[in-house]
């Protein structure tokens, strides 16, 4: 959880407690107008604290994105005609193996971009890898041949991507939320870095830093 967001949650929670105490004191003095006002403000502060806590929980599983970062290292090797195995190694050390069909490795992700004002609270552009599958070079093969697809992310209590879509009032702090995808040929053994930048996903051969690797453009969902 971003540290500034922790302070925001704590501040609103503390303020709601203070207002509740004030409301109880006003009840004892039979000051009904003051009681109502204090209760309304206490509920409002409590709701804001709950919203901040919900956002912080939703951000779990998402990684802050302020530059181009390596989301995973991927090694592919052919296992048969139009079949290959992709081994993903993630930054936390987790390793997963996927048996896929097709001519290319395809990965997509969710990306949430916040308004600059939200950056002050520690909410930076974040991503969460979503799915991996094989991709055929020919459209006809995509429509007729078998495909395999797997989830790359683990379930979280609250999905930030869906939360940003569902709650309209988050539009004041969420700049945009979108899906991004990229693919790379898997016809032969290859070691790749799956990278995420502020413009979306891309594959680079392991250790390469120069531009020029083919990627699919980010697509709006």
Average pLDDT over residues 50-60: 69
**Rounded CA separation 85/87 (Å):** 7
Binned at pLDDT 50, 70 and 90, residue 16 comes out as confident
Cβ–Cβ < 8 Å for 166, 207: no
**Rounded CA separation 165/112 (Å):** 10
Task: List pLDDT tens digits, range 70-94.
Answer: 999 999 999 999 999 999 999 989 9
Indicate the pTM of the whole model. Answer: 0.62
The chain-wide mean pLDDT, for the chain, equals 79
Average pLDDT over residues 216-220: 36
DSSP 219: B
Task: List pLDDT tens digits, range 85-121.
Answer: 999 999 989 999 999 999 999 999 988 887 766 665 6
The first and second tokens of residue 112, run together, are 């949430």
Nearest alpha carbon to residue 152 among 85, 107, 198, 217: 107
Which class for 171: exposed (0-12), middle (13-18), buried (19 or more C-beta within 10 A)? exposed
Binned at pLDDT 50, 70 and 90, residue 214 comes out as very low
Beta bridge partners of 87: 75, 97
The domains of the chain are located at 3-59, 63-205
Task: Check residue 221 and give its pLDDT.
Answer: 32
Nearest alpha carbon to residue 71 among 109, 34, 16: 109
């Amino acid at each position: 959880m971003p540290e500034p967001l922790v302070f925001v949650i704590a501040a609103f929670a503390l303020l709601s407690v203070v207002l509740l105490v004030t409301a109880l004191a006003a009840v004892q003095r039979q000051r009904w107008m003051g009681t109502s006002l204090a209760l309304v403000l206490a509920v409002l502060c409590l709701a804001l604290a709950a919203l901040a806590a919900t956002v912080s929980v939703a951000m779990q599983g998402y990684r802050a994105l302020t530059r181009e970062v390596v989301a995973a290292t991927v090694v592919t090797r052919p296992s048969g005609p139009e079949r290959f195995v992709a081994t993903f190694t993630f930054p936390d050390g987790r390793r997963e193996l996927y048996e896929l069909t097709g001519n290319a490795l395809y990965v997509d992700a969710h990306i949430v971009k916040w308004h600059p004002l939200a950056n002050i609270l520690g909410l930076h552009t974040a991503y969460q890898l979503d799915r991996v599958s094989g991709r055929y070079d020919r459209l006809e093969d995509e429509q007729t041949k078998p495909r395999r697809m797997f989830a790359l992310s683990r379930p979280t209590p609250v999905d930030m991507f869906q939360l940003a879509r569902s709650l309209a009032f988050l539009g004041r702090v969420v700049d945009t939320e979108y899906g991004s995808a990229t693919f790379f040929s898997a016809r032969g053994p290859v070691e790749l870095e799956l990278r995420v930048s502020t413009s979306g996903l891309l594959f680079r051969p392991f250790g390469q830093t120069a531009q020029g690797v083919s990627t699919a453009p980010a697509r709006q969902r």
